[in-house]
Structure 1
Amino acid sequence: MSEPGPESIPTSADPRSKRPLKRRAVTAQSQQASQIESLFRDPAKEIKLPGSSKQRTSASLPPPPEIVANVQGSSAGAGSGEFHVYKASRRREYERMRMMENEINKETEDSHWAKQREETRRKDEEKTGKNRKRREKRNAAKNKKRGAASNGKELESMAADAPTQGALSGLDGKTDENQSLPADAVEHAETAGLIIHED
């Protein structure tokens, strides 16, 4: 057996070879890696992204022909080139009809949703209005009851607190403005509240 020599190295693997490397089948991973490498070669280069594709509608499709010169059925020209022409026209027409049906379905769903939303909003407003009226009525009754009870208490408290208020203001119930307040009067003045005396 002869030992391996330079002639046993494949030509493509030989560094001295000028022959280009064999191109292998490109996998998705290697393709993405090569795209990323090419992007990183020149980071300052502007990247142009393709524009977002507009959704196709029946209006964007070309209209069907107004005059069809050669009307043919599915068996017309079977086995010849005309069959493919028929298949293509049938596919275009089916696509146009499908798009029209989708648009009609979308419009009906949108109108149904808008009607349902409006109905829900109206019911919510009615319920909120009822609750608001009930709350205002309850608060008015509370305020009325509280007002009647507090008016009597206010009159009593005003009469009872007149000396205290006078002492705090320095008037002692009199209207003489020249009267001065003693220094210890403020400390001994009674304040409104509950006083508990221990026995």
Structure 2
Amino acid sequence: YAQQQALAIVSNKTQEELQVEQEKRVKEAQDLELKLKIINESIPTRIYNTSSSSAGAGSGDFHMYRMVRKAEQERQRRLDDAFVKEKEKLEYEDKKKKREEEEAEKTAKRRAKRQKQKAKKGKKAKASGSAEPASNDGNDSSSDDDKPEQAALD
């Protein structure tokens, strides 16, 4: 239980969000397995000129071997490149999401600070007996609620 609580504190995610993420990862893994199965089934097994058990190596066998080996190495390189590219894409998406969450937290903190200052200013104006509360300088809560894209820029 303590480990789950510590995990929740670090990740700041609810149990439902963690469950959704886990299901998403499982679904992606299943999709990947399906794709790999389709790829493996669709790629033909290449059997080049095979020699009989009594035949010796001819003059062209080495060249055939080199050609087959080169084709296999190229296929392996393409698979590795695709894997690296996908991995980099996922890392980029994770970084982007984390950066957006941090910006949202900063924005919320700044908004709370502005609202707190406005409330303090309004109380001070009421306490001094002024009939007019804090001036409307564009930092009221309604403008924050109406313009979420502006709040992201603050």
Name which structure has the greater RCO, CA cutoff 8 Å, separation 6+: 2
TM-score by length of 1: 0.38
TM-score by length of 2: 0.49
Greater gyration radius: 1
Identify the structure with the greater helix proportion. 2
